[in-house]
Amino acid sequence: MSFMLPIKRFGQRTVVLVLITALIAIIVVITATKGISTKSYTTATVVAAPATSSNRKVLSQQAMNETLGFGEIVVVSLPDRTDRRDALEIISAYTNLKLKFVDGVDGSKMSKKEWPDETPKTFRDSMLGCWRAHANLWQYMLDSNLETLLILEDDIDWDVKIHEIFATLSEKLQHNPLRLDTPTERERMAAPYGLDWDVLMVGQCKDVSNPNRLDLSFSYHDSNGPYEKQIAELFRSQMRKLTDKEDLNRQRIITPTWEPVCTMGYAITRVGAMRLLTNLSYLGLHAAVDTEIGNHMKAGNLRGYTVTPPIFNAWRVSGWKDTDIQVHRQYYKSVGKGNKRGKSMNLKESARIKMLEALKQDNWARYNEKFPVERKSGATTK
């Protein structure tokens, strides 16, 4: 009897409608949440709390793996430069890196239909081939399930402590004061270098920062960075514009990318690959690939960070083997000094030089030391 009192007060029809409405609401909620995936590729709509120093340390340790914490490391190399491939195979094995070689492109064999819109008619075959080789890697990035890709050219050198150098860089980029956006949950949990950039320049032969925004930079100590005397003057000059520090020993500076020269070493994100293909292929091409990247950085179409002095640097033997661009070969009269007398700059300890030292041996001297020759009594030597 007491149970029926509320029903009589409000009316049985009202109670039934309330129960039906509640049931429908429950069904809608269950249906809506059932299709939500927890495995979204990126979580840009989820704002994460700032990464703790412990999280940053864990993520930075990914730089110790064979791809330095990137999805892959690819090297663009012409098929006939087996000499360069041999060299990189040796030093990558010595420094525990896994490289994937991708064939360069012979621009002379490209059809006119392959040229992007507005490509200058004065473009040399080598410029076209270089652009297409890099564009193929941007395309490769989108065809894969990689989040980041490190792209290298085949005439380079790096420090023997390459893993430690990138681990330090990872920590700094995870605590990056130049970020425009708060790190996403995905970045905080699985991106050792963040994902807020299109291009990360780590192997340029020259760089120029935005002259109107020299305040946008920060420096950090890298215990495996080069001493000031090992840094090329053009990079020392650039660093002095960005920092008041008198001592440039083992210092690196990170700036928003403005005008990089050369593409010896750079990383890209998936969005970066899309923007590169859009601006340097789909919408046209107006200059050499490195110059064009700089043009779009200055225009604001691309976002990047540049590390100075660079981590990857050119290896030079002072001869025509230093270049695959034919127009440059006319300035060289010989093949060069050879790898025995080759050199690189901006490195504390060259992996190429340390590799030779580590592999050098005198096998028979060791045999003679361990198993001395016993001479017979009375024997004489001449």
Question: Which DSSP string do the residues of 116-131 spell out, in sequence order?
Answer: PTT--TT--HHHHHHH
58: CATH: 3.90.550
Has residue 66 been placed in a domain? yes
Helix (H) or strand (E) holding 319: none
Has residue 329 been placed in a domain? yes
Has residue 5 been placed in a domain? no
For the chain, the first-to-last Cα distance in angstroms comes to 129
Range of the domain at 192: 53-356
Has residue 25 been placed in a domain? no
> Considering its fold, how many domains does the chain have in total?
1
Has residue 97 been placed in a domain? yes
Tell me if 250 sits within 8 A of 226, measured CB to CB: yes
Q: What are the structure tokens assigned to 91, written together?
A: 């030093």
Question: Chain-centre distance of CA 182, in angstroms?
Answer: 21
The total number of residues shown for the chain amounts to 382
Helix (H) or strand (E) holding 234: helix 233-242
Question: With the CA atoms of 335, 339, 343 and 346 taken in that order, what torsion angle do they form, in degrees rounded to the nearest 10?
Answer: 120
Tell me if 105 sits within 8 A of 305, measured CB to CB: no
Higher pLDDT, 71 or 322: 71
Higher pLDDT, 42 or 86: 86
Q: Looking up tokens 């490209």, which residue turns up?
A: 110
Q: What are the structure tokens assigned to 68, written together?
A: 């330095």
Average pLDDT over residues 205-223: 96
DSSP per-residue codes, 320-375: GGG---HHHHTT-SSS-S-GGG-B--S-SSBHHHHHHHHH---HHHHHHHHSPPPP
Give the pLDDT confidence score for residue 57 in this predicted structure: 84
User: How far is the C-alpha of 245 from the C-alpha of 231, rounded, in Å?
Assistant: 15
The pTM (predicted TM-score) of the whole model is 0.82
- 316-368 tens-digit pLDDT: 887 656 566 655 555 556 666 788 888 999 999 999 999 999 999 999 999 99
Quick check: helix, strand or coil at residue 164? helix
Q: Looking up tokens 């000094």, which residue turns up?
A: 337
User: How far is the C-alpha of 284 from the C-alpha of 117, rounded, in Å?
Assistant: 4
Higher pLDDT, 296 or 42: 296
Has residue 136 been placed in a domain? yes
- 150-200 tens-digit pLDDT: 999 999 999 999 999 999 999 999 999 999 999 999 999 999 999 999 999
Q: With CA atoms as reference, report the closest residue to 304 among 128, 176, 191, 141.
A: 176
Q: Looking up tokens 């050499």, which residue turns up?
A: 288
Give the pLDDT confidence score for residue 381 in this predicted structure: 52
* pLDDT of 15 strictly over 50: no
Give the pLDDT confidence score for residue 375 in this predicted structure: 75
Has residue 92 been placed in a domain? yes
Has residue 21 been placed in a domain? no
